[in-house]
Structure formats: structure tokens, C-alpha cells
Amino acid sequence: MGVPHTDLLAGLPAAGMLIDRLIDPDEVAALVTYLASPLAAATTEADHIIDGGAVKTA
């Protein structure tokens, strides 16, 4: 929304970034669709981070 794509990427932590692009809204929608479906019935107490590997987790 007015911010160039390259400026957004420059603001992300480079170390550990698994993909070199921003996450597509369709990727977020796919996870939400899965979590709201019966397929996720056995998924309990899980964190789902959709950041392309930008944030390091333990």
C-alpha cells in the first residue's frame, strides 16, 4: 500500500530467512482454511507461524 516491495524486504531480518519474498495472502488463507476444517481435528495446542522463516524460534 504505497511501500515498495524492496523496502519491505530490506526491513526483514536477513539471517535465517528461508524464502526471499513476502508471504502471499493466499498462503495465510490456506492455513486458516486447513485449521478451520475437519482435517485439523487432531491438531491441538500448536503455534503456526507464517513468516517465511524470518523469525527464529526455539
- C-alpha cell, 19: 524464502
Question: Residue 46 has what pLDDT?
Answer: 85
Alpha-carbon distance 43 to 47, whole Å?
Answer: 10
Question: Residue 31 has what pLDDT?
Answer: 93
Alpha-carbon distance 37 to 58, whole Å?
Answer: 28
Q: Where are the alpha helices (DSSP H) in the chain?
A: 5-10, 25-35
Question: Residue 6 has what pLDDT?
Answer: 78
- Residues 1-58 pLDDT 10s: 677 877 777 766 655 567 777 788 999 999 999 999 999 999 988 888 887 777 777 6
**Helices vs strands, H then E, count in the chain:** 2, 0
